[in-house]
Every structure is written in structure tokens, then in C-alpha cells.
Amino acid sequence: MSSVIQWFPGHMNKAKREVSEKLKYVDIVFELVDARLPLSSRNPLLDQILQQKPRLIILNKTDLADPQQTKLWQGWFQSQGFLTVAINAHNNSTSKQVVQAAKEVLKEKRAKDKTRGLKPRSIRAMVVGIPNVGKSTLMNRLVGKKIAQTGNKPGVTKGQQWLKSGNDLELLDTPGILWPRFEDPAVGKKLALTGAIKDQLLHLDDIAIYGLSFFCKYYPGKVAQRYKLPDSAEESPANELLMEITAKRGYKDDYERGSELVVVEIRQNKLGAFTLDRFGEGSEEAHE
């Protein structure tokens, strides 16, 4: 994993500059995270970049995540002063959920604008998030098929496009992607298991072993059930478990193939919904 966990300051500085420049055009930032790893899929520099800009944290892919963990993380974000909304961006109800939550975040500001005699207008927002958290899916869901430039607005003249979402929301299309800094190797493994890092860059057996260890610890019985093994098999070291699964599937000694099977099936929720960032195990305390 050491070859994957690298730091690219040039790329990060460019993305940071792009987001900073666009902040003045929006009322709110939608910070999109993967509900399976609410902390590990956040960019640690966002707080510095966004500063006091109103923010809505959107936990996406809730259909893949452990619902109990999602509720705990939502409560934690709220304790940090952030309103959150938990969604599956593929659902039709997503737009309504996000717009309502954005209005709640901006309630005081909009009330002040009203007392100053300013006419209410649609909310202008920007979506930020690391790869594979579902940014494109969310934007497509919010905008639907009515993708259109809304015209005479700051940013359009710079080649930026405002995407209209009904009458209540406009999105500033932002191509810049922010990556986290991989200071903790465990973060890299979590992102790898959920597909945020290209498989070609990884040792798949390391990721499969990590995934099997995780499931045996937090969701006991799921591995044995999925691969038709005795429950006692989960007591074996994860590398031996991988060998057993590979043999059981008839792959002989092709552990690469066995590893790919395990990783793909975990991602497809064949072993059930899961959350890799476990609330209450100290990781959230480091972010307070």
C-alpha cells in the first residue's frame, strides 16, 4: 500500500485554489462523503479552505452502509455544528431532501436578507468530494435532464456553468477533485476497499485480507455464510481464510482471482451493508 499512499502537493494546491476562487459565487457548499467511511472520505483541508462558508454534509450511498452507524455519525456531525443529510443519490427523493436541508442551513441568512428587503432567489451551491463518493450521480439527480446555463451570473463568463435544479437550487459545476492526504495507511485501505483508488494500483490480496478481517470482527458470520464455510473458519487468520475461499470457489492456487472475488463482492454488498469508519473507536475524537 505504501506505493499508493502518496501526497501530490501540486494537484492539491490546484484543486484548493479552484475551490477557493469559486467560493465567492456560492451561498453554500455541499460536502459529499461516502456513508461507509464518513471520516476517511473527507478531505482534511476542507475546513481550512471553506472556513466560515455555510456547509451541508451529505452522506451518500446509505444503501450500502450500516444504518445504525450512519445515525451515529449524523449525530456526531451535528455535535460538531454541521447539519447532515443521509441519501442514496439514485433515489428520486434525493433532490427534495438536499434542497430542504440546504434551506435549513441557510435559514438565518435568508431571514436577514428578507428584513433587508432582498428578494428571495434560488440557492447557489457547489459540490465537493473525493473520487467515488457519487458526485456525478448526485449532480445528475439534482439537475435531472434540464441541464442549462442560467445566464447572466458571475462565473459563467469564466467558462463555469451554472446547472439549474428546479426553482430552488443552482449548482456551480466544479471539475476540481479534492483528494485526502493519506497520513494513516488504514485510510488508504478503507478507500481501496470501497473503490476510491484504482485497482491496478493495489495489491488486491492485501485489500481482500483487510476486508475479510474487518467483516469477521464487526459482522461475524457473514463471510462464512456467503462462502458456505463453517462458522469456525472465521477464527482463522484472514490470509488462511482467503486461501480457503479461493479453493472453495475452484480457483486452485489463484489467490489473485480469489482476492478479486472477495473485494468485488464486498463492494457489491454481497456480504451485506457495512461501515468501515466505526463510531466510538476514537477516530472521531481526533477530528473534534
Q: Do 120 and 211 have their domain in common?
A: no
pLDDT at 242: 97
Nearest CA-CA partner of 179 in 2, 22, 10, 3: 10
β-bridge pairing 123-128 and 55-60? unpaired
Angstrom distance (rounded) from CA 16 to CA 259: 36
Is 178 domain-assigned?
A: no
For residue 62, say whether it is annotated as part of any ligand binding site. Answer: yes
For residue 188, say whether it is annotated as part of any ligand binding site. Answer: no
Residue 220 pLDDT exceeds 90:
yes
What mean pLDDT value characterizes the chain? 85
Q: Do 114 and 225 have their domain in common?
A: no
For residue 248, say whether it is annotated as part of any ligand binding site. Answer: no
Of the residues 172, 187, 221, the one at which a domain ends: 172
For residue 20, say whether it is annotated as part of any ligand binding site. Answer: no
CA 258, chain centre distance (Å): 27
| Span 189-204, average pLDDT | 83
Is 179 domain-assigned?
A: no
pLDDT at 155: 42
Is 196 domain-assigned?
A: no
SS3 104: helix
Q: Where residue 243 sits, what CATH number does that domain have? A: 1.10.1580
Q: Do 152 and 217 have their domain in common?
A: no
Residue 146 pLDDT exceeds 50:
no
Residues ≥6 apart with Cβ < 8 Å to 182: 4, 5, 6, 7, 188
Q: pLDDT tens for residues 147-195? A: 444 444 444 434 567 888 888 899 987 655 666 666 777 888 898 999 8
For residue 60, say whether it is annotated as part of any ligand binding site. Answer: yes
Angstrom distance (rounded) from CA 244 to CA 255: 10
For residue 137, say whether it is annotated as part of any ligand binding site. Answer: yes
Cβ atoms of 174 and 15 closer than 8 Å: no
- Measure the CA angle with vertex 52, ends 48 and 56; round to 5°: 95
Residues ≥6 apart with Cβ < 8 Å to 231: 221, 224
Residue 65 pLDDT exceeds 80:
yes
Q: Do 91 and 227 have their domain in common?
A: no
Q: Do 109 and 221 have their domain in common?
A: no
Residues ≥6 apart with Cβ < 8 Å to 205: 239, 242, 255, 256, 259
For residue 43, say whether it is annotated as part of any ligand binding site. Answer: no
CA 117, chain centre distance (Å): 38
Angstrom distance (rounded) from CA 78 to CA 105: 12
Residue 125 pLDDT exceeds 50:
yes
pLDDT at 10: 62
The residue type of 60 is: N
pLDDT at 263: 97
Q: pLDDT tens for residues 9-51? A: 566 677 778 788 889 899 999 999 999 999 999 887 788 888 8
For residue 127, say whether it is annotated as part of any ligand binding site. Answer: no
β-bridge pairing 28-34 and 123-128? parallel
Angstrom distance (rounded) from CA 236 to CA 280: 26
Task: Work out how many domains the chain is built from and give that number.
Answer: 2
What is the gyration radius of the CA atoms in the chain, in angstroms?
A: 21
Between 135-143 and 94-105, two packed helices, what is the crossing angle to 10 degrees? Answer: 90
Is 198 domain-assigned?
A: no
Is 188 domain-assigned?
A: no
Query: Which residue range(s) make up the domain with 256?
Result: 203-287
Residue 101 pLDDT exceeds 70:
yes
Q: Which of left, alpha, beta for 203 (phi over 0: left; psi -120 to 50: alpha)?
A: beta
**Burial 203-227, CB ≥16 within 10 A → b, else e:** ebbebbbbbbbbbbeebeebbbebb
Strand order in the sheet with 162-165: 83-86, 55-60, 28-34, 123-128, 169-172, 162-165
For residue 61, say whether it is annotated as part of any ligand binding site. Answer: yes
pLDDT band of residue 3 (cuts 50, 70, 90) is very low
